[in-house]
Amino acid sequence: MKRKSLNVKKKTPRNIVQHLSDKNIYKVYNEFKKSLNSQSSYAVALSGGPDSIALAYLAKCFSKLNNTKILYFIVDHGLREESKIEAKKVLLFLKKFKIKCKILTWKGKKPKSNIQSIARNKRYNLLIDECKKNNISNLLIGHHIGDLYENFIIRLLRGSGLRGLTSLDKAVKDKKSSIHILRPLINIKKSELVNISKKVFNFYVEDPSNLNEDYKRIRVRKLIKNLEFEGLDFKKLQLTIDNLKASNKTINYYVENNIKNNSTFFKSKNTYSLNDNFFNQPYEIIFRSFSGLLSDISKRYYPPRGKSVDEIIKKIRSKNFKKATLGGCLIEKINKTVLISRENL
């Protein structure tokens, strides 16, 4: 990462809240605070890029104005030799503004393939573990509207279904930890966040991997820019995503009803019992209900791959199915009842 060369006079204000007098910054802050509650506790995930630096500023303002507990964490993935030094620079810089950060380091052997996906999962695990240690109930992530569009295109290229296309929600509850992952900037443009980083701090860092087209996300980012040049209407794209989210919400309603009416949870055995009617629903309802229960029993952040869930559902609905394992769960069929319990590893 290289420090941005911004020809702005360096100055550390006594009170950074004063920047809220700027109407453009206040507009972003006003949108940001809609996701927060002054009675709750928060952790902020930082990287040093303009998105997270702006997020640090907005969270600091909210903390000062509402006397709210907020902790700040920087994740050093250790995937590049310079990352440790860069994380330290960000920590020392924000310290000048009384934003105290802690660096969380990913230790151990690093992957050689599927790097971004594995690194993302590890990042969330480190952050969630730190939240649990500090009794923090909410984790703030700096995703902006550009990330929403990128995620949509990536999922579209993968052939994802409705749930996948709308996966970057403003708020989601981690099933394993019950910590709420919040994206208070998901409706904000990146240019607005860059503006905050420049005006308030005169500082942010650029990750060289953002130029590396070996990563699909970077190629998609470039594709979106090309589509914009060709006349892509972002308002219409946003409308499409909003409509899909509304449809997804409707399906989730029926998924919840299926789980409520056609399954029973035995806490002492950590086991779900599914009656025959559980599998007599429209297939998308069955698929989501079953995937959700597998995640709940296994306590894994992500459910098993869709193809694997498809295959096991087909086997369950056949006459000869008796027993199988998937995603850390043991699945058994006794007469017309299906039991899901934790696999003994």
Q: DSSP string of 60-94?
A: HHHHHHHT--EEEEEEE---STTHHHHHHHHHHHH
At 107-140, the pLDDT tens digits run 877 777 777 777 888 889 899 999 999 999 999 9
Q: Round to whole Å and give the CA distance between 306 and 292.
A: 12
β 101-105/42-46 pair status: unpaired
Which uninterrupted H or E stretch holds 241? Answer: helix 234-262
At 72-92, the pLDDT tens digits run 999 988 777 788 888 999 999
What per-residue confidence (pLDDT) applies to 142? 94
Which uninterrupted H or E stretch holds 172? Answer: strand 171-173
Residue type, 291: S
Give Cα separations from 218 to 147, 192, 215, 264, 325 (angstroms): 11, 20, 6, 44, 36
Q: Round to whole Å and give the CA distance between 84 and 194.
A: 23
Measured from the Cβ of residue 332, the count of other Cβ atoms closer than 10 Å reads 16
Give the residue ranges of the chain where pLDDT is below 70.
Answer: 1-14, 207-212, 301-302, 345
Measured from the Cβ of residue 69, the count of other Cβ atoms closer than 10 Å reads 13
CA 345 to chain centre: 28
What per-residue confidence (pLDDT) applies to 104? 94
